[in-house]
Chains A and B, each alone.
Chain A
Amino acid sequence: MTSPDTQHKVEQFLYREVRMLAEGEFEEWLDLFTEDSRYLMPIRETTATREESERGEDYLPHVDDDKDFMRARVQRLRHRLAHAEQPPSRLRYFISNIEVEDAEGGETGDLDVRCNLMVYQSRLERTEKIFVGRREDRLRPENGSYQITNRKVVLDQSLLPRSITIFF
């Protein structure tokens, strides 16, 4: 069990983080990730067992980014020809069920944080899409706050409602 104080600090960190995403502060959001961080989003398939459904790294994932490519994605979105998000979608992020544990095998003070995620995307006139899943982060204490060294986003959908043009 982590202390109520740690739980509170982590929750505040996560709330601030998704607010950055909703408000399009992508450069500030990038700063929350360590230089060696990895961002992974596996595919989901309908399989006989629950365990198999979340496909591992030998399967084709939706996303497998290092910090450099995350930076490139942000840079692209700032380009005048990035039609996919210009004009920008209106976004609302909901996170809940935040569980915080001391990380196993990490550096001292590292935390493993799980949360549920729901993102509502409203785009142009009437495009409305909802993405639902969970996130697994590893956080490292940094200057009184945290940095993300690893993020895994596991959506529940095997068929994505749309090509993903936003960050989770």
Chain B
Amino acid sequence: MSDTSIQDLVRVDEGLISRKIFVDPDIYRAELENIFAKCWLYLAHESQLPNPGDYTTNYMGEDPVLIWRGMDGEIRAFLNSCRHRGMRICRTDVGNARQFACPFHGWTYGSNGELKTVPSFDDSYFGDLNLAEWGLHEVPRLANYGGFIFGNWDEDAGSLDDYLGNARWYLDVVIERAIGGLEVFPGGQRYSVDGNWKIASENFVGDGYHIAQSHGSAFTLPARPLNPANPFSSYRGTLTYYDIGLDNGHGFSQATLAGERIEVDRMEAKELGPEVVEYVEECYARLVKLSQAHADFYAWTFGTLFPNFSINNFSALRPIGLMLWTPKGPGRLEVWQWGATDKDAPKILKDRVRQDLIRNQASVGILAQDDTENFEQVTASTAGVIAQRLDFNYQMTLDRKPVEGLDQFPGFISTYNSEENQRRYYRRYAELMGGGEGAQQVYAGPKLAARG
């Protein structure tokens, strides 16, 4: 990585980060090694794979993976590449299969990854091939938190629970609030962005600051429904926002902590009828059962789980947007996006949530459109040698202490707007990129919901 160390480039304590990390090909290679081959990465939601044989595909870093529920019912993930000559064994996005025969020479793998047969085993190999050694390369660590399936290439990595750390306290809100459990809408949107993957990830970890300027056109539309994120809404003044910096670089942004959001949902539910009013109250009661703090929190707005998985959720009446910022070189990323909702939400709400999702933060959504322009032009204007001598400024709220009196909420609570979440994100980034293990922070704080 040339002659400068990552500590010189990422000077979080000064709120300065070199632009180089967003464009340099050597740094990008090091990210694939030190971050994408070491961290827990989001793969799929279990609702996408209900039956034995169901599979879907994704990437971990630049490595294609197949996520497959075996005929034995167990979910596994494999490098999507034949062990013989590397052909992609599964070339569809989603489906159901008992086995895959490689299109190139016909090596055939079972749903537990074992190499079952190779053509001409007797005639060409003379039986001299140990099939047991040549099964699909399995992602060694796979774990599920409340239906969200993550994988890790690093056999020695700590547990997913420890990796998520105190972010679990907040994730429990969307997981436990759903009466019938979460369900991902079938189908995923995908679009390419000519931008660095970190620009998108850090935008969602805590950049509430861009909303008024970047999304001003969207939020001033008269047709736009009530939305707690809308900086121009009439009741915006009644909400107090915070950013929540969490373990291991995770962060959630634009959260309310004094029970304001349930009031917004109650207002909105009235317009949608008694069925929805009742639904909102049931969601709220489920959170109260978890703890009054969970109920007061109720939802965040946007957030990122380090390194590249962002989750949006405004309220029980709003979509849960799942966005993966998949790296494709220093100057390109692909957005793989899904939407989720409560399986038992009333039909009227499910339809509304689906529409809300695709019209806003999605491939043709009026928020993602402007974000894309930002992500692309930040990256393009940083390509030159002069730009790369300069730093980006992350100094907002640099010397501010966490807000006091909110001990019932885990994490570092900042006033809003703040860049504390971004600094925490890059602190974790620098620890991992520095080659050191960057000891994973393990959560000890207010009670979490029991989850396997």
Contacts and interface: CB of A to CB of B under 8 A. Distances in A.
A160 interface: yes
Given A163-B364, A164-B363, A45 B94 contact: yes
Given A60-B339, A69-B223, A160-B192, A43 B187 contact: yes
B193 interface: yes
A97 to B, nearest CB: 24
A71, A81, A85: most-surrounded residue (chain B CB, <10 A): A81
Contacts of B393: none
Interface string A78-98: 011111110000000000000
B268 interface: no
A159 B332 CA distance: 13
Contact of A45 (B185, B187, B357): B187
Given A76-B217, A160-B192, A163-B369, A46 B374 contact: no
A36 B78 CA distance: 47
A12 interface: no
A47 B380 CA distance: 35
Interface in B171-199: 185-194
Given A76-B366, A159-B192, A84 B372 contact: yes
Interface string B92-128: 1111000000000000000000000000000000000
A77 B186 CA distance: 30
Given A43-B188, A76-B221, A159-B190, A63 B93 contact: no
B377 A64 contact: no
A163 B195 CA distance: 12
A124 B374 CA distance: 13
B189 A62 contact: yes
B218 interface: yes
Contact of A69 (B338, B359, B370): B359
Given A68-B223, A84-B372, A162 B193 contact: yes
Contacts of A85: 369
Interface string A19-38: 00000000000000000000
A72 B338 contact: no
Contact of B191 (A45, A48, A159): A159
Interface string A148-159: 000000000011
Interface string B367-396: 011111110110010000000000000000
B213 interface: yes
B204 to A, nearest CB: 15
Given A43-B187, A60-B188, A158 B93 contact: yes
Contact of B185 (A59, A65, A73): A59
Given A47-B95, A69-B359, A165 B334 contact: no
Interface in A96-149: 124-125, 127
A1 B216 CA distance: 49
Contacts of A43: 187-189
A144 B47 CA distance: 51
Q: Say whether chain B's binding surface is mostly helix, strand, loop, or mixed.
A: mixed
B264 interface: no
Nearest to B337: A60
Interface in B212-246: 213-218, 220-224
Chain B, interface residues (CB within 8 Å), range? 35 or more
B334 A159 contact: yes
B159 interface: no
A111 B364 CA distance: 28
B217 A163 contact: no
Contacts of A47: 92-95
A85 B359 CA distance: 17
Contacts of A77: 217
Contact of B187 (A60, A64, A72, A124): A60
Contacts of A58: 186
B223 A160 contact: no
B377 A124 contact: yes
Nearest to A81: B216
B422 to A, nearest CB: 21
A84 B368 CA distance: 9
A6 interface: no
Interface string A48-74: 100000010011111111001101110
Nearest to B190: A159
Nearest to A168: B364
A132 to B, nearest CB: 15
Given A59-B185, A158-B93, 18 more contacts: A43-B188, A45-B93, A47-B93, A59-B186, A64-B358, A72-B224, A72-B366, A76-B221, A81-B215, A82-B217, A83-B214, A83-B370, A125-B380, A160-B190, A163-B191, A163-B364, A163-B371, A164-B369
Interface of B: 91-95, 185-194, 213-218, 220-224, 334-335, 338-339, 354-355, 357-359, 362-366, 368-374, 376-377, 380
Interface of A: 41, 43, 45-48, 55, 58-65, 68-69, 71-73, 75-77, 79-85, 124-125, 127, 158-165
23 contacts: A43-B187, A48-B92, A60-B188, A62-B358, A63-B364, A75-B222, A82-B370, A83-B373, A84-B370, A84-B372, A160-B190, A160-B191, A160-B363, A161-B191, A162-B191, A162-B372, A163-B363, A163-B365, A163-B368, A164-B191, A164-B369, A165-B369, A165-B372
